[in-house]
Amino acid sequence: MVAQLIDGKAIALQLRTKIHDEISQLQAKHHDFKPSLTIIQVGDRPDSSTYVRMKLKAAEEANIECKIINLAESVTEFEILTEIQKLNNSLDVDGILVQLPLPAHLDEAKITSAVLAEKDVDGFGPFNVGELSKKGGNPTFLPCTPKGIITLLNVSNVKIEGSNAVVLGRSDIVGKPIANLLTQANATVTILHSRTPLPQLQAYLNNADIVVAAIGNPQFVKGEWLKEGAVVIDVGTNFIPDASKKSGSRMVGDVEFESASVKASLITPVPGGVGPMTVATLLENVILAAKRHYSKNNETPKFTNPLRLNLQKPVPSDFEISRAQQPKRITQVAEEAGILDSELEPFGFYKAKVSLDLLKRLDNKVNGKYVLVTGITPTPLGEGKSTTTVGLAQALGAHLNKNVFANVRQPSMGPTFGIKGGAAGGGYSQVIPMDEFNMHVTGDIHAITMANNLLAAAIDTRIFHESTQKDGPLYKRLVPAKKGVRKFTPSMLRRLNKLGIDKTDPDSLTPEEVSQFARLDIDPETITWRRVVDCNDRFLRGITIGEAPTEKGFTRKTGFDITVASECMAILALANSLEDMRERLGKMVIASSKAGVPITAEDIGCAGALTALLKDAIKPNIMQTLEGTPVFVHAGPFANISIGASSILADKMALKLAGTSPDLSAEERQEQEGYVVTEAGFDFTMGGERFINIKCRSSGLVPDVIVIVATVRALKVHGGGPEVKAGAPLAAAYTEENVELLQVGCSNLAKHISNAKSYGLPVVVAINKMSSDTDKEHEIIREEALKAGAIDAIVSNHWEEGGKGAIDLAEGVISAANSIDRDFKFLYDTAPSVEDKIATIAKEMYGAGEVEFLPEAQKKIDLYTKQGFGNLPICIAKTQYSLSHDANLKGVPTGFKFPIRDVRASIGAGYLYALAAEIQTIPGLPTHCGFMNVEVNEDGEIDGLF
């Protein structure tokens, strides 16, 4: 008989045409679907170059972007592994192929193993090889040549199941994997190799229905060794001398074609058999990688792996609960949330930073739902906003299987070691590990401290040098020659541009321009920039600097703030990108010149260095809740004089991770989308108002629903109940049913609901249950909330039961977030005067009758307006314990005169803040401090922190 040829070229062409059509169809629906392959070739072996050109041509014909990286024959192992790592981390690369063989000095197994499993389109990595070799394994990719062989057999209608198959060759590239694939197809497989005795080898071949020859020995298999009618797959690519060829050689397989084609029923030619299929199946693997990559970037993973809570009654201390729960490794938390390994920077086992590259990768996704948690006017004990934020996230993720993020601020260690304690939530709704959450996290606050104090040092140093030098020497030292060349720094070029000096050569400035550039002429009386420390050190509130004799009598009265009060922290929270943070840091106004010109960090030449100090701090930190749902912990701007909320970047990243493909229907989107639960500081009237009018203005994001947390206890305070003090026993009015106090106090809740609804957003009230509450009291709150315009008011017992206790609240939030009852608008436009914007906030949000601007405040308003800062949003610093400026005015005071005693500028952060009360920007320590309880046990664990 004469064997029929298995035309690998024709079958490969069909497969490549199918691949091209599939790409075209996908791109018609998803315009950003762009499959890409990168091939690494080491050296310039002629055979390797031929194969690479074939793959490149085939990829181009299939509409796959293909890039070749040529490395020198002498490349080191470290260099090639570094290149692979870059490709592993690249968002633009779907598949990576290392062209084999590699030079002898390189460890081939180590290098091919370095390729990520999801990009290992050759199928040679340890994961894919291991999965292929085990029973029930699930490799991400099959090796190309074996996969192509199976395709050839299937297309040629060769019956594999029950057949007797012989594989000649035991390489990891062809022999072993094709043997595994044939076994999986239920053939009886025998592997032979170069050390198999020839008689034994011939005997096995003589009984084989299918022969796969991949031994690398030209024309080794003879026709007389074969079984009549056998199917022969020749994988060999060998070159033998042939004077009739222009090259002097020709390609032959491992099978003697002439004699084998007489015995076999089907046979692959060489060339034109297996070779084209190897390339075609490679392209098929690239498409598979690209589709998976695209799907991973667009699909919202459901949360399906919660940590179990061991609920106990009475509820143990927060610290005992936190210590009793074993957290997941943060790498697992991130993977479940859809964060790539290349986007994660672990800090130990349970916290990590997340790269901003994630935003680029997920740019095309439609944001998930955005839930803002705020509260009523609180008591000094707090009303559980953080606990509610965490509990709601646990309910959405661990119990309703939604992709969810809780986004919270990083707490300052000053209050942690003072009297306030931590801010990780409480009971069975916490961020864990709570000691790591409340101490350091990944060092962002320390970075803020360094950046802030570098600028403070730069300001006083500049004043000192300007006061002791004339223009020429000052300019010469500011712009020194290095290796005979003088150059302006980027900050200097920005200052020149601000001054209208269009020159880049330092030697070309006129004496007048030199003086204008070099002399900031800062008025020390106008300096607003203070040093910071993350500690409640009350004795740093007012200090005198410059007392050392080396400062030549230059002294100045100043003081310290707590680190989270730094404008650098506000910028970290409000920046939309690294570039945006750099611009904002440069715009920070630290003083005025004696001529009244605002002096910025850019003028000082410090903005670039500040950015360098904060380049890692800008990356959000990821942790987890008690039930294993992810939490972004990032930024912590002081709630009294800033927005008191976590960062815009954390919100944006979480919303993309919780987001969905743009191609979904409304019904599909609602089913798949996740939720981001973020918290605003203090009550809605302060924290919520700033969140929307300042943070949302910067981010362009708008909440889908506002959750207002209320407690029976706090509402009774606003109904006229006895004063509540931290550390003091609660009066009976708060531990026993008192409908009258509660009914009156609900007016405070109604005012917050009204305030929230004025932004055109739906409102849900979360009634944070406490053990002394009664059902009747809860029903009164619900009735009053609905009467005031809330969509729903839902009792939540997350402190005692974790996410399980907040399921009803979560379902109510989902319903409200998907309602169409919204018509968003800001409270005010930024165009009106500073006075008008302050009056709008005071009257509309607080209930003031009029606003009084004290002389110092009016002076500042006039100055900032003159300097061009009058069109910024406003942040009003006042007490959090009343809707008014007076902490003693409970309930819903109205018609009062609202005093503005001072106005200050946070130009880099992008707002002015008006002071209506004396706000301490560095708290003091109490008699018995939190730090007195802290110890480290023999296991190195922190005890007594909370």
Are 235 and 254 in contact by the 8 Å Cβ rule? The answer is yes
Q: Is 304 exposed, middle or buried (0-12, 13-18, 19+ CB in 10 A)?
A: exposed
Which amino acid would we find at residue 673?
A: E
- Residue the block writes with tokens 């459901």: 302
Q: How far apart are CA 162 and CA 183, in angstroms?
A: 10
* Residue 593 DSSP code: B
Given the residues 7, 94, 120, 122, the one annotated as active site: 122
Amino acid of residue 562: I
Residue in 595, 586, 632, 627 with CA at minimum distance from that of residue 358: 632
Would you call 193 exposed, middle or buried from its count of C-beta atoms within 10 A (0-12, 13-18, 19+)?
Answer: middle
Residues whose CB is less than 8 angstroms from the CB of residue 800 and which lie 6 or more positions away in sequence, other chains included: 311, 313, 315, 427, 428, 769, 771
CB 900 within 8 A of CB 841: no
Cross-strand bridge partners of residue 188: 164
Catalytic residue among 55, 695, 716, 860: 55
Scanning 658-728, the segments in alpha helix (DSSP H) are 666-672, 689-690, 696-699, 712-718
In 3-state terms, what secondary structure has residue 861?
helix
Which one-letter DSSP state was computed for residue 895?
Answer: S
Nearest to 38 by CA among 101, 119, 147, 128: 119
Distance of CA 872 to the CA centre of its chain: 29
Neighbouring-strand partners of residue 593: 522
Q: Is 534 known to be catalytic?
A: no
Distance CA 717, CA 741 (A): 8
In our burial notation (b when 16+ CB lie closer than 10 A, e otherwise), range 901-910 reads bbbbbbbbbb
Q: Which of 41, 99, 430, 672 is catalytic?
A: 99
Among 391, 396, 408, CA closest to 801:
391
The helix (H) or strand (E) run that includes residue 352 is: strand 352-354
Task: Say how far apart CA 50 and CA 175 lie, in whole Å.
Answer: 23
List the beta bridge partners of residue 95: 37
Q: Are 273 and 238 in contact (CB under 8 A)?
A: no
Distance (Å, whole) CA 884 – CA 239: 91
> Does the active-site annotation cover 725?
no
Sorted by sequence, the CB contacts under 8 Å of residue 444 that are 6+ apart come out as 410, 572, 617, 621, 634, 635
User: Is 55 a known active-site residue?
Assistant: yes
Q: Can you read off the two tokens belonging to residue 167? A: 């594989």
Tokens 């570039």 belong to residue: 579
The amino acid that residue 502 corresponds to is D
For the chain, the 3-state helix, strand and coil shares in percent, each to the nearest 5, are: 45, 15, 40
Q: Which string of DSSP letters, residue by residue, matches 668-679?
A: HHHHH--EEEEE
- The CA–CA distances, whole Å, from 865 to 856, 871, 913, 916 equal 14, 8, 14, 19
User: What is the 8-class DSSP label of residue 397?
Assistant: I
Closest by CA to 150, choosing from 48, 15, 17, 255, is 15
Residue 412 backbone phi and psi in degrees, to 5: -80, 140
Indicate the angle between helix axes 607-614 and 444-468, nearest 10 degrees: 160
| Residues annotated as part of the active site | 55, 99, 122
